[in-house]
Amino acid sequence: MHLTAEDVEKLLDLDELISTMRDALIALSAGKVVQPVRTVLTTTNPPAWFGLMPAIYEDVMGAKLVTVFPKNAGTQLGTHQAIIQLFSAKTGEPLATLDGRVITAWRTAAVSALATQILAPPYARVLTILGSGVQARTHLAALKRVRNFAEVRIWSRTPEHAARFAKETGAEPRALEDAVRGADVICTVTHSSEAFVRGEWLKPRVHINAVGAVGLVARELDDSVMDQAAVIVEQRAAAVVESAEIIGSASPIYAELGELLAQAKPLPTAPKTIYKSLGVAIEDVSAARRIWQKAVARLQSK
């Protein structure tokens, strides 16, 4: 079976996806998933990377093959391209190939929604999104599922992009510092390679979904932000080798998100929390598995 991006969009349900991510992350932290840290190959002309992300989960084995080409920004091609291949964990036979771009965009936001649901202040009313691309849009939709925001602010390094996002969504464009100050929940979804969010801008109590920076160089949050907060990750083994923010600041990891979702570890008492998103294979494989199951069910019902 081959499922295109259009097929995936028709079969994907955001609320169902959030639930699927919850189950998958709990299974990961409970040791019920086989998942090595992703393998990454880099290119220099143009600078880009190619990642292999495998996992075994329940009745399927799968892998996402993903490329990130930052110089595609502003062209007809997205910066991220991906496919997900599923196999039977019982027989090894190939089951389906799915376009991975739509799954990546939505599963990332779905996990941030889970983190926001349990970590953000219960009175959170002001959401700030730093970045104006695909992830900005999916995060706005997903976080609205778990919190009722009275105000949404948007900042982008390209003001025209922020203005377009604001027109489409009703968000309010702000300058960077102004967007951060007073926000209850902040999502960083940029391609920045240097930290640009400063600790002195933050409210005494705030939750941050740090999404855009992956790898040993790129950062969005400076050390003063990291030093103030309890840090939550998807997988410790990945975070300690893939996050420049965690490595550079030497910030301790409080818990995996799956541990908190399963109530295997208490929620942090720190007034500031950071969910450091890197994206792990189980998210892609579990999402692809659910979409494939729905595709099979539709075929059988005809």
State whether 226 and 293 are in the same domain: no
Cα separations in angstroms, 79 against 70, 132, 295: 5, 14, 27
State whether 213 and 243 are in the same domain: yes
Nearest of 238, 234, 232, 233 to residue 270 by alpha carbon:
232
pLDDT value, residue 19: 98
Percentage of the chain beyond pLDDT 90 is 90
Judged against a pLDDT cut of 90, whether residue 99 lies above it is answered with yes
Three-state DSSP at 3 gives strand
Judged against a pLDDT cut of 90, whether residue 215 lies above it is answered with no
Q: Kindly tell me the number of DSSP H helices and DSSP E strands found in the chain.
A: 11, 14
Judged against a pLDDT cut of 90, whether residue 9 lies above it is answered with yes
pLDDT band at 80 (very low <50, low <70, confident <90, very high): confident
State whether 136 and 88 are in the same domain: no
Helices (H), 120-202: 134-143, 159-169, 176-180
State whether 146 and 262 are in the same domain: yes
State whether 187 and 154 are in the same domain: yes
State whether 198 and 133 are in the same domain: yes
pLDDT band at 79 (very low <50, low <70, confident <90, very high): confident
Percentage of the chain beyond pLDDT 70 is 100
State whether 125 and 258 are in the same domain: yes
**Cβ–Cβ under 8 Å, residues 70 and 85:** no
State whether 31 and 65 are in the same domain: yes
**Angle CA 214–144–111, to nearest 5:** 35
CATH code at position 258: 3.40.50.720
Three-state DSSP at 92 gives coil
pLDDT value, residue 184: 98
The mean pLDDT of the chain is 96
pLDDT value, residue 168: 95
As a whole number of angstroms, the distance between CA 19 and CA 144 comes to 15
State whether 22 and 126 are in the same domain: no
Each residue of 262-276: pLDDT tens digit?
A: 999 999 999 999 999
| Domain limits for position 221 | 107-279
pLDDT band at 123 (very low <50, low <70, confident <90, very high): very high
pLDDT band at 75 (very low <50, low <70, confident <90, very high): confident
State whether 37 and 59 are in the same domain: yes
pLDDT value, residue 192: 87
Spell out the residues 6+ positions from residue 275 whose beta carbon is closer than 8 angstroms to its own.
Answer: 111, 112, 115, 116, 119, 207, 208, 209, 210, 232, 233, 257
Judged against a pLDDT cut of 90, whether residue 76 lies above it is answered with no
Q: Phi, psi at residue 71, to the nearest 5°?
A: -75, -5
Average pLDDT of the residues in 108-122:
97
As a whole number of angstroms, the distance between CA 184 and CA 127 comes to 6
State whether 124 and 221 are in the same domain: yes
Each residue of 125-156: pLDDT tens digit?
A: 999 999 999 999 999 999 999 999 999 999 99
CATH code at position 53: 3.30.1780.10
State whether 250 and 292 are in the same domain: no
Instruction: Give the chain's domain count.
Output: 2
pLDDT value, residue 71: 87
pLDDT band at 112 (very low <50, low <70, confident <90, very high): very high
